[in-house]
Amino acid sequence: MRNIQHFVCGVIPPHILDRVAQHSENEAQEHARSTLEQMRELARTRAQSFVRAESAPKQTALKKRRNVYDAQHQHRLPGKLVMTDHRPRSSDVEVDEAYDGSGATFDFYAKVFGRNSIDDHGIRLDSSVHYGQRFDNAMWDGRQMVYGDGDGRLFRRFTASVDVIGHELTHGVTQYTASLRYTGETGALNEHISDAFGMMVKHFTLGQSAKESDWPIGAELLGPSVHGKAVRSMAAPGTAYDDPVLGRDPQPAHMRDYVETDDDNGGVHINSGIPNHAFYRAAIAIGGNSWEVLGRIWYATLTDRLKPDADFNDLARATVDIAGEFYGNGGGVQRIIAESWSSDGLNVPVYNAPHIPIQRRAARHAALHALPKWRRRPAR
């Protein structure tokens, strides 16, 4: 057994809620304040690091296990069990969406990477819906998903975006793998990993190619009165919303605009725009499905290369290295990834392709492209 670091991460960052709490009228202000207070309370109650039983045998059979609870507008978690894999579907849309979204995320990690749930040991995915009163957030609290209903004006129900569910559960994957800290540039890297994988969960679930997607995070969450398209935009960081109440999307897309701040754990939801943009550019340049080439490289980076204090440079270097290992040094994929990083201000050298005799190269190519076991199963 060992302690695992974790944190409470909400999809709606504190800088947005702070702004609403300070700049809006009565009701919205009240909801934002109450959401911030409820988040602080959650963080307090979940502040203890939890332990994982590492001695538990690894489950080799990929089996989805999901529970959904109804918090019944209280703050006690998880609440009343309302849906499991053995029960019929619920008539409550939040319950169904939380169930389907955690299932979609499980399927993505299982089918694309052969990963058995977020801990790779088959841990059950628990979600609680209807948390608190008009709670304006969705979050991974270190053990489970927690969803508020939203206030109905600025934000709708928080189960509606599958990329947000993928984002939050990916914080669980990060917790069990690279265990990235949640402050400053490392925290922004942590947020980027969740955005990139959350977006890939959406692409995979909808069967959407990189070019077919608009790359918004949380497009379904914004309420009818908000001037904006999403909570963040991977395609164009800084343009997701511009609203009298929410303010303007503060995300940069280039290192020269890196935001130094004490807010938001040192701008973790702000500076993530920089690697998000590089990821988007690389995905568009490579074409096809985001999860196939980039997903494979980013997954190997997260699970095998990043240390808990990694920064953007470490990420850029690791992805370029792995692109070389998987797809050839000096090859097209590696060059595209290196160029995407350098156009956002992170320069990574690309090595010239080493001379590999033709036969060895062919053998290596075959080995790299051999399908993993799970892929050989009949299609769904």
Q: Which residues are catalytic?
A: 168, 269
- Shortest reach from residue 146's CB to Zn ion, in Å: 13
Handedness of CA 127, 88, 63, 207 (dihedral sign): negative
Is the CB of 176 or the CB of 327 nearer to Zn ion?
176
Tell me: does residue 270 bind Zn ion (CB under 5 A). Answer: no
Is the CB of 9 or the CB of 302 nearer to Zn ion?
9
Tell me: does residue 34 bind Zn ion (CB under 5 A). Answer: no
Is the CB of 119 or the CB of 141 nearer to Zn ion?
141
The residue at minimum Cβ distance from Zn ion is 9
Choose the binding region for Zn ion from 7-15, 152-160, 180-188, 315-323 (rule: CB under 5 A): 7-15
Tell me: does residue 290 bind Zn ion (CB under 5 A). Answer: no
Q: In sequence order, what are the residues at sequence separation of 6 or more whose Cβ sits closer than 8 angstroms to the Cβ of residue 359? A: none
Among 35, 67, 170, 194, contact with Zn ion (rule: CB under 5 A): 194
**Strand-pair partners of 66:** 125
Tell me: does residue 251 bind Zn ion (CB under 5 A). Answer: no
Handedness of CA 5, 9, 15, 18 (dihedral sign): negative
Give rounded-to-5 percent helix, strand, coil for the chain: 45, 10, 45
Tell me: does residue 180 bind Zn ion (CB under 5 A). Answer: no
Is the CB of 83 or the CB of 217 nearer to Zn ion?
217
Tell me: does residue 188 bind Zn ion (CB under 5 A). Answer: no
Instruction: Report how many residues bind Zn ion under the rule CB under 5 A.
Output: 2
Q: Residue ranges of the alpha helices (H) in the chain?
A: 14-23, 26-45, 93-113, 162-176, 184-206, 264-267, 273-286, 294-300, 312-327, 332-343, 358-369
Among 6, 7, 8, 9, contact with Zn ion (rule: CB under 5 A): 9
Is the CB of 217 or the CB of 336 nearer to Zn ion?
217
127-160: b (≥16 Cβ within 10 Å) or e: bbbbbbebbbbbbbbbebbbbbbbbebbbbbbbb
For Zn ion, the binding residues (CB under 5 A) are 9, 194
